[in-house]
Amino acid sequence: MDMINIFTVFILAIFVGFEIITKVPPTLHTPLMSGSNAISGIAIVGAIIATKVGGELGSWLGLIAVIFATINVVGGFMVTDRMLKMFKRK
């Protein structure tokens, strides 16, 4: 049951993704990439959990994963904000 639920969520999320992303204008494609990139930093949630699960080796892997994912999250959202505040009207 768990697996079916989780597949349902996955498939529905893909459809939602296609719906909302096709509406992003070409002007904002670079911020879309860097912003969605920051969102893929959600792996940080897994990284946090990973620090406890796998014994010593696992927690080292978890530490590196936390570093990588945080770079992704912090860097991604910050650089997207930096870009988006440049887009001005006349």
Partner 1 sequence: MAYTNIAYVLAAVCFILGIKRLSSPKTARSGNTIASVGMLIAIVATLVSFELLDFRTIAIGMIIGAMIGAFFATKVEMTQMPQMVAIFNGFGGGASALVAAAEYFNPANPSLFNSSTIAISVFVGTLTFTGSFIAFGKLQGFVSGKPIVFPGQKPLNALIAIGLVVLGVYTVLYGDSDPYFYGLVILSALIGVTLTIPIGGADMPVVISLLNSYSGVAAAATGFVLLNNGLIIAGALVGASGLILTNIMCKGMNRSLANVIFGAVGLEQVTPGSGEGKQISVKSASTEEAAMILDAAEKIIVVPGYGLAVAQAQYAVREVADFLEEQGKKVLYAIHPVAGRMPGHMNVLLAEANVPYEQLKDLDAINPEFEDCDVAIVLGANDVVNPAARHDSSSPIYGMPILDVDKSKTVLVNKRTMNPGFAGIQNELFGFDNTLMVFGDAKAMLTDLHKDLKNL
> Is residue 1 part of the contact set for partner 1 (CB under 8 A)?
no
H-run or E-run covering 90: none
Residues 51-80 that bind partner 1 (CB under 8 A): 51-55, 57-59, 61-80
> Is residue 88 part of the contact set for partner 1 (CB under 8 A)?
yes
| Residue 1: CB minimum distance to partner 1, A | 11
| Residue 44: CB minimum distance to partner 1, A | 6
> Is residue 23 part of the contact set for partner 1 (CB under 8 A)?
yes
Helices (H), the chain: 2-21, 29-40, 43-53, 55-70, 76-84
User: Alpha-carbon distance 13 to 76, whole Å?
Assistant: 21
> Is residue 90 part of the contact set for partner 1 (CB under 8 A)?
yes
DSSP structural state of residue 89: -
